[in-house]
Amino acid sequence: MSFSKQQLQKFAHLIRIEISDEKLEKMKIDSVIEWLDKLQKIDTTGVEPMLSPVQHSLLRRTDVVTDKNIRDLLLKNAPDETGKRAGYFAVPKVMDE
């Protein structure tokens, strides 16, 4: 299987990566896809997909509030001062949904 430049650009957009066509070419994505094709051909009938090599069971916590108000710490890295002063993360205006 191989992908057109257009398809690859679409995938890049899906994960919000900006990449030039030139660079895309250099990356030789096709060789990765080829390798994935090989993996796809392995017969895995009856094999339960492994989510993690770790054999632990899922950690759970009790329903207790352990995190208090840490707004100032949270907002420390927020780039927008206007939002920060009001206690918010300010982002460029979005209106859809």
Partner 1 sequence: MYTIKGKTGDWELVIGLETHIEVTSNSKLFSGASADYNPSVPANTQASFVDAAMPGMLPVLNEYCVEQAIRMGLGLNAEISKRSKFARKQYFYPDLPQGYQISQPAEEPPIVGRGWVEITDDDGNPKKILIERAHLEQDAGKLKHDAHPTKSMADYNRTGVALLEIVTFLDTKNPENNSYITSPDEAEKYLRQIREIARSLGVSNANMEEGSMRADVNVSVRRVGAAEFGTRTETKNMVSFKFIKTAIEYEARRQIEIIENGGTVSQDTMHYNQDSGTTTVMRSKEDALDYRYFPDPDLLPLIIEDDLIERIRATLPELPSVRRARYMSELGLSEYDAARLTESVQISNWFESAVGDKLVRAKPIANWMISELFAHPENFVLDESIQRDESIRIIAPSDLAELVDMISENEINGKMAKDIFVKMLDGETGSPKQIADKFGLKQMSDTGAIVSAVDDVIAKNASQVEQYKSGKVGLIGFFVGQVMKATGGAANPEVVNKILKEKLG
Interface residues toward partner 1, by CB under 8 A: 14-16, 49, 51-52, 54, 56-67, 69-71, 73-75, 80, 82-83, 86-97
Nearer to partner 1, 26 or 60 (CB): 60
Q: Following CA atoms 45, 51, 53, 55 in sequence, which dihedral angle do they give, to the nearest 10 degrees?
A: -100
Give the whole-angstrom CA distance, residue 73 versus residue 76.
5
Q: How many CA atoms lie within 13 A of 22 on its CB side?
A: 0
Residues 33, 4: contact at Cβ < 8 Å?
no
Nearer to partner 1, 38 or 93 (CB): 93
Nearer to partner 1, 25 or 36 (CB): 36
Q: How far is the CB of 71 from partner 1 (least distance, A)?
A: 5
Q: How far is the CB of 22 from partner 1 (least distance, A)?
A: 25
Q: How many CA atoms lie within 13 A of 90 on its CB side?
A: 9
Q: How far is the CB of 97 from partner 1 (least distance, A)?
A: 7
Nearer to partner 1, 22 or 62 (CB): 62
Give the whole-angstrom CA distance, residue 93 versus residue 90.
9
